[in-house]
A and B are shown apart, each in its own frame.
Chain A
Amino acid sequence: MAETREELVKRLEGQTNKIRRNIWRALKASGSGHAGGSLSAAETLAVLYFHKMNIRPNEPDWEDRDRFILSKGHANAGLGAALELAGFVDDDYVNRFYAMDDGRSPFGMHPDIKVPGIEFSTGGLGHGLPVGVGMALGARIKGKSFHTYVMIGDGELHEGSNWEAAMSGAMYRLTNLTAIIDANRISQSAHVAEIMGIEPLADKWRAFGWEVRECNGHSVAELVDALDALPYGNNKPNCLIIHTVKGKGASFAEDTYLWHQNAVNQEIYDKAIAELETV
């Protein structure tokens, strides 16, 4: 029996909650990490990995799979959480997030292409979108119909290479490419607006030749609508700006640069998990 929309949203909300738990698990096991930017992306990762993307976790190199690049690579705890839930890697990976390599590639603080399900090594900011342009162009040249998603942080947009790629994505009319901007409004040291203003963000992308949509990045229903509407049309690449809260789901970590990167001990973990129990 086909899943109703209500059931779909409920299921994805459940996956979101599991992703958040996995994030805290990975950070606790590692002792520290980037909670804020991982937590802000949780709903989007859930909708991509458990609804939208055409993937085969038991065949991670399947050539027709949709691609996801986490350009804001420091949110790797979020990506790892989703990959573990989707079955790309086993549970043990999340428990040994920064463990020194004993012959199996661990995740580490930033994504490494060697890990099953990770499409590209990122961490230096401003690298994902150019690579995504290459993947989308490559799909066209190879006659493939897969879609490429690149998640970029709003603070990351300070890097000029994003705007080089914004030009090339539009120039080549890459309707098979979607930039997802995680607009949690906070970077490492302060609010993005205080560090270097990026507004008007949607107008910037439109001016660069992208078809833009915006939604509440913590509403699974809105995300499903926004991602199901792809491609947005007009023969343009797609930009989805998700308005989010950094550190979402843990009251003590929400909307503050103090939780960009932190130590995570048992006490913090227990507190975070207790809050997730109530959702």
Chain B
Amino acid sequence: MAAAPTTDWRTKSQSQTRLAFGQALLELAAKDPDVVVLSADTQDLLGIREYIELYTERFVECGIAEQDKIGISAGLATVGLKPYVCGYAPFVTARGLEQVRNDLAYAHQNVVIGAAASGISLGVSGGTHHAVEDLATMRSFQNMKVIVPADVSEAYKATIWTLGQDGPIYIRLGGRTPEPDITDPDAPFTFGKATQLRPGNDVTIIACGATVEMAVRASDALKKDGVSARVLNMSTIKPLDTDAILKAAEETKGIVTAEEHHITGGLGGAVAELLAEHRPTKMRLVGLGDEFAVVGPTVPLRARYGMSAENIAAKAKELL
């Protein structure tokens, strides 16, 4: 069976990582008869209607019941199937937290979670629909791999990469706000390795997901001011690319982390944990502080909490 033509999935992804995940499932299902997909009334959220039509017998709708969904995925994995769980990031990680910890991480089951609507991407939905703790919880679980794609190319390739991997994987996906292309579409997905998107020797910006594009714009703006800002796309949060971070700490004056997440426990926390022990380095952490975001459209809402190219550039300058 032929894989979907390259341009097809790209068009259908509509510059949204959540839809790229759903498109990648078509390629995976064609490739491997053990792929199964689960949903908690999240069929459109992850763009899997085409999958359901083609692979009805390998689709499990679990209803709005995240605990059951994760448990079922674990049970499916025990018989040798390869479950892909589609969910809302805020619900699958918080409501299903103990199931993710016990049934997937502790029991070491090969299940991939595609978590859409992460961060404050569903801005107007309010705090109940924001997921700003998921990186902190997911990366704290042993055996768990955590991936945060920056655009549809990376989301598609990362999802394809997960097939046949050992242990559970959490893929953090965006919401309905288009995510501009920022990674090299022809480069392979490099799990566990940061990708350098801009060279630089004054300061380093480490970003993941939606903030990667902001980091690149920040670097370009800083360049005009004579500041050379390295940009690392840290698309794997666990395991962390410690080499790239330590190298940046050694070669530049400081590190700014940027993430659509609380500044506690996520990317910034992970980088700080590493540097505190191995190479204390001046840092600035961009992300949501210790507060619930107000209701608002995603892009201005991000900016309000410092998730913007302008603020990332300003934070970088503080480190010079």
Contact = CB atoms under 8 A, between A and B. Distances in A.
Interface of A: 63, 67, 113, 119-124, 126-127, 129-139, 141-142, 144, 160-161, 164-165, 167-168, 171-172
Interface stretch (B12-20, B42-50, B101-109, B215-223): B101-109
11 contacts: A113-B108, A120-B78, A120-B103, A120-B107, A123-B102, A127-B71, A138-B76, A141-B79, A161-B65, A165-B72, A171-B63
B91 to A, nearest CB: 13
Nearest to A161: B67
B194 to A, nearest CB: 33
Interface in B90-133: 98-99, 102-103, 106-108
B67 A133 contact: no
A133 B72 contact: yes
B257 interface: no
B291 interface: no
Contact of B57 (A126, A132, A141, A160): A141
Contact of B72 (A67, A126, A130): A130
A54 to B, nearest CB: 15
Secondary structure type dominating chain A contacts: helix
B168 to A, nearest CB: 13
B102 A129 contact: no
Most chain-B CB neighbours within 10 Å: which of A67, A126, A132, A138?
A138
Contact of A63 (B77, B80, B99, B106): B80
Nearest to B83: A134
Contact of B65 (A132, A134, A168): A168
B218 to A, nearest CB: 43
A132 B81 CA distance: 14
Most chain-B CB neighbours within 10 Å: which of A63, A123, A134, A142?
A134
B80 A131 contact: no
Given A130-B75, A137-B75, A142-B79, 15 more contacts: A120-B107, A123-B102, A129-B71, A130-B68, A130-B99, A131-B74, A134-B71, A134-B73, A134-B75, A139-B79, A142-B81, A160-B67, A161-B71, A164-B67, A167-B65
Contact of B63 (A127, A131, A168): A168
A134 B67 contact: no
B160 interface: no
Nearest 4 CB-CB pairs, A to B?
Answer: A134-B75, A130-B71, A138-B79, A164-B68
Most chain-A CB neighbours within 10 Å: which of B72, B80, B81, B108?
B72
B58 A134 contact: no
B70 interface: yes
A142 B57 CA distance: 10
B197 interface: no
Contacts of B62: 168
Contacts of A63: 79-80
B107 A121 contact: yes
Contact of B71 (A119, A133, A138, A167): A133
Nearest to A172: B60
Contacts of A124: 98, 102
B36 interface: yes
A152 B3 CA distance: 44
Contact of A138 (B67, B68, B81, B107): B81
Nearest to A171: B63
Interface string B281-294: 00000000000000
A80 B80 CA distance: 25
A105 to B, nearest CB: 12
Most chain-A CB neighbours within 10 Å: which of B80, B98, B103?
B103
Given A126-B67, A133-B68, A121 B102 contact: yes
Given A121-B106, A168-B62, A168-B63, A142 B71 contact: no
Nearest to B59: A141
A160 B168 CA distance: 24
Contacts of B65: 161, 164, 167-168
A141 B103 CA distance: 20
Given A127-B102, A134-B71, A141 B81 contact: yes
B75 A133 contact: yes
Nearest to B71: A130
Nearest to A133: B72
Contact of A161 (B36, B58, B68): B68
A253 B10 CA distance: 65
Contacts of B68: 130, 133, 161, 164-165, 167-168
A131 B106 contact: no
A133 B76 CA distance: 8
A279 to B, nearest CB: 37
A255 B56 CA distance: 49
A279 B196 CA distance: 74
A113 B75 CA distance: 12
Nearest to B67: A161
Contacts of A119: 78
Contacts of B78: 67, 119-120, 131, 134-135, 138
Most chain-A CB neighbours within 10 Å: which of B69, B74, B79, B106?
B79
